Amino acid sequence: MRQMAITSTAQGAARTPPTPGLGWAYAEPGKRDLRIDLLRGAAIFAMVVDHVGGQESWLYALTGGNHFFVSAAEAFIFLSGFVTGMIQAQVIAREGWKAAFANTVQRACSLYFMAVLLALTLPLLALHLGLSWANPLQTTSLPGYVVGVVTFQQTYYLVDILVLYALLFPCAGLALKLISSGASWLVITASWSLWLLWQYAPEALSLPGSDTVFHFASWQVIFFTALVMGAHRKQVAAFFAQLPAGAYLTWSGALFTASLLVYHSEQAVLSAVLPSRDAQSAADALFSKADVGVGRLIVFAILAAFAYSLLTIAWKPLKAILGWLLVPLGQHSLLAYCLHLFVVALFAAAGPSILGPQPSSGETALLQASGVILVWLTVMTIASFSPAKRPSVAKPAAKPAPAIAAPRPLPPARQLPAPQTMRARPLVTPRAPAMQPLTLAQRGLRPLPVAVPSVGQRTSTLSSRSSLAARQSLPAGR
């Protein structure tokens, strides 16, 4: 099997580039990068504000009002691709490509189910609330609409981006196979070639019946570029770490300011730069949302570099001000997006009766902020009741046999002196001490009484013994 070309993130987050010594730099424990969560939460914030809508709002200075060169959709899709590449690269390194492909297919199935459910539910809610949203039953029958939704031939307002996701994730699983085989360049080449072909011949690549802003051939370039960057996160971080984050913040801030000036003077700038073309047609070609024009990609890259470097340098104050709101929204982004569709429908029905037909900029901003808070409260409530994810308990691995240490070398043997010649001595066996006979008293006996003969008796006895001995000494026959 070929060596994996993916860099795993299992050993922790990539090293943060050097930052100025203000004490505000990003330094959060754990493997999860909270900067990504906050940026994704900011995209949810912008989506809610822009979709609640209104003619004028103070909050459009932050979100662009869906009229700027970029919108929240670019950030949402880019971050989704980046996080997918980052996580599934770790899965491939640990379990192999098949596990990562199964994850992407499972994600695509959940997105498909969500897209179908919302496309069938929202028209009924809009009809019940009396909204001016399009009624699909005016152009087709109910069975025809259901079949169209199930087969991706039709979709509904604000649901089309989920259809795009349901198509992107299975392709992401196949792209991860190439990335894990060391062919990341092939993924990038195929993605950008498809985007370039769309710019010149969009009708040849349009999906049948797809009446949407989010065309697969144009928007996929953001997702797959981010997918490759997420899979090679450590190499990308090492490349950008060659300069301090302050340098990126300075240059990206200057370019972002220039893009704002171009936006406010778009007609004059384009007329001066492209005098031979109509300014409006040039703007449509460069910054088209449906086509993801090249100008849109450039401005998004500038904005992404500015936002990420700003969070890297000034993380602590920004987290203290915005983290309580944006981080939970970013960590539950899919739930927040689905909930915001119903909030938008409710506010579209109740807004005119509350604020009147011509609300001021402040009133519209208040209504939009209320929508954001309502989505946040609902997300926090559902997250509090949902069971916490229990950490997977892996089976304890068998302990390896303890390594047997090599025996220490024995010290060199001491040379004993040569034995000297010694005279043999006779072996004397020690004698046991003589046993003394025990007395009668020691044996517990009493001596018997002995009769002592008198002197006359002893004399007669001796004479009788002598006569006996004399007779025995005589010759026989006498």
* pLDDT at residue number 207: 74
Asked if pLDDT for residue 9 goes beyond 50, the answer is no
* Domain assignments of the chain as residue spans, ordered by start: 34-243+315-385, 244-313
| Mean predicted lDDT score pLDDT of the chain | 83
Confidence of residue 470 (pLDDT cuts 50, 70, 90): very low
207 versus 286: the higher-pLDDT residue is 286
- The stretch 354-360 carries a mean pLDDT of 86
* pLDDT at residue number 443: 57
Sign for the pseudo-dihedral over CA of 272, 275, 280, 284: negative
Q: Which two tokens stand for residue 448?
A: 């018997």
Element (H, E) at 157: none
How far is 37 from 322, CA to CA, in rounded Å? 11
CB 86 within 8 A of CB 230: yes
* pLDDT at residue number 351: 87
Of all residues in the chain, the percent with pLDDT exceeding 70 is 75
Condensed to tens digits (0 to 9), the pLDDT of residues 56-73 reads: 999 999 999 989 999 999
Q: Give every CB contact of residue 91 below 8 A, 6+ residues apart in sequence.
A: 99, 100, 103
Q: Give every CB contact of residue 133 below 8 A, 6+ residues apart in sequence.
A: 122, 123, 126, 157, 348
Minimum mean pLDDT among 201-210, 253-262, 431-440: which range?
A: 431-440
Counting every residue, how long is the chain?
Answer: 478
Residue listed under structure tokens 């505000």: 24
Minimum mean pLDDT among 19-28, 318-327, 396-405: which range?
A: 396-405
Q: Which two tokens stand for residue 273?
A: 């730069």
Confidence of residue 468 (pLDDT cuts 50, 70, 90): very low
Condensed to tens digits (0 to 9), the pLDDT of residues 153-211 reads: 889 999 999 999 999 999 999 999 999 999 999 999 999 999 999 999 988 888 765 66
Asked if pLDDT for residue 473 goes beyond 90, the answer is no
How far is 279 from 273, CA to CA, in rounded Å? 9
* pLDDT at residue number 268: 87
